[in-house]
Structure 1
Amino acid sequence: MDDSQIVELYLDRNESAIAETAEKYGTKLKKIAKNVLSDPETVDECENDAYLKTWNLIPPNEPRTYLFAFVGRIIRHLAIDRLRHESRQKRTALFCELTDEMLECIAGSSDVEHENETKELTELINKFLDACPEEQRNIFVSRYWYFESITEICEKYSLPQSKVKTTLFRMREKLRNYLYEGGFIV
């Protein structure tokens, strides 16, 4: 079943939409949550919460051509929120490492008062990634969107560890410069 048909099930309030989403994307969604969280039960809870939130967000949204990205974003945010909640005092090493790596490129702010700036930043990052060669883009997205480890990325793309690390370092540098040229001071 394609994404448009699954979204149509959501719009019709047909509960089989959740089963179809789980069948088509369940494994990938769990992997996103698993890369953030370590507990399998918590991963399952995030997956179920993601389906519920998807159910509640369709309608008004109609992600006919990007259902996986839509649900993937939901589960990613749920997993990160869960991680923050469960480890307020002791932070997970991988999450801290990835946050520190991206803070080299993007200055964080404690409050989200400028929604337009967020949109502009998102557009700039998307343009930056669109201009990158496919291999570099895949490595970057695997690391910072899917939270995959360097080892997983090496295995996934059959690359040596040094190449993956160097690619990520250089892309962060390029992204920082690109954002600076786009008006974001890092």
Structure 2
Amino acid sequence: MDDMGIVRLFWQRDESAIAETECKYGSFCLGVAMSLLSDGEDARECVNEALYQAWSRIPPQRPEKLRPWLGRVVRNIAVSLWRKNHRQKRYNGLEQALSELEDCVPAAVDLQQDVEGAELGEAISRWLAALGKEDRILFVRRYWYDIPLGELANEIGVPPKKLAQRMYRLRQNLKSFLEKEDRPYENCGQLRSV
């Protein structure tokens, strides 16, 4: 069944929408959650919560493309769970990807920084839109979905070191773009161990 058919089932409040969604996108959602949490039980909990949120949010929302919409929902749930568990020192799954970006993007602490964070998000979106399709996909999959570098390298058929260099160049490009946008961040793009 295509995405619009599934969304139509949600709008009709037909419970088979959940089964169709899980059948079509369950493994994708589980992969997103697993890459962030590294715990199968927690990842399955995130997928179940995402399905519940899909039931709760559709309607009124009507996503045209269900896969990215579900990916965002699952990722947000997984990040929230990771933060909760990280406070309890149980996980270390996101630390590698976040540490690669920490020098580029400062953490928001107050209202002014929250506003600057929103502006920074818009600037990064503009930067992403200017990238080629493959670089944009790689950057988002690495730093939004937290797909391990080795897995990405295997998918595109290059050695991990070569992809690490490419990701380093992308971070350097992001740093340069942010500096031109009058958002200089020290040490952006510093290559971390992979």
TM-score by length of 2: 0.85
Q: Give the Å deviation of 1:138.
A: 2.6
Do residues 7 (structure 1) and 23 (structure 2) align?
A: no
Q: Give the whole-Å Cα distance in 2 for the aligned partners of 1:52 and 1:114.
A: 33
Matches within 5 A, 1:1-186: 1-63=1-63, 65-90=64-89, 92-111=91-110, 117-186=116-185
Determine if contact 1:139/1:164 at 8 Å carries over to the other structure.
no
* Consecutive unaligned residues in structure 2, runs of 5 or more: 186-194
In the aligned structure 2, how far is the partner of 1:119 from the partner of 1:62? 25
Q: Over residues 101-144 of structure 1, what are the superposed CA-to-partner deviations in whole Å (9 max), with x where a residue is unaligned?
A: 11222122034677765554333323222222233223212211
In the alignment, the residues of structure 2 paired with residue 159 and residue 112 of structure 1 have an alpha-carbon distance, to the nearest angstrom, of 43
Tell me by how many angstroms 1:11 deviates. Answer: 1.3
* Count of residues in Structure 1 that have an aligned counterpart in Structure 2: 185
8 Å contact from structure 1 (residues 106, 176) kept in 2: no
Deviations 1:128-184 (A, max 9, x none): 222222332232122112211111011111011121111111111111221232243
**For the structure 1 residues 69 and 113, does the alpha-carbon distance in structure 2 shift closer, same or farther, using more than 3 Å as the test?**
farther
For the aligned residue pairs, the C-alpha RMSD in angstroms reads: 2.1
Summarize deviations over 1:3-48 as a string: whole Å, max 9, x none: 1121111111111111111111111110000101122111111100
Contact 1:84 1:91 in 2 (8 A): no
Under a length normalisation based on structure 1, what TM-score does the superposition of the two structures give? 0.88
User: Against the structure 1 CA distance between its residues 111 and 91, is the aligned structure 2 distance closer, same or farther, given a 3 Å change threshold?
Assistant: farther
What is the rounded CA distance, in whole Å, between the counterparts of 2:173 and 2:90 in structure 1? 28
Identity between Structure 1 and Structure 2 (%): 36
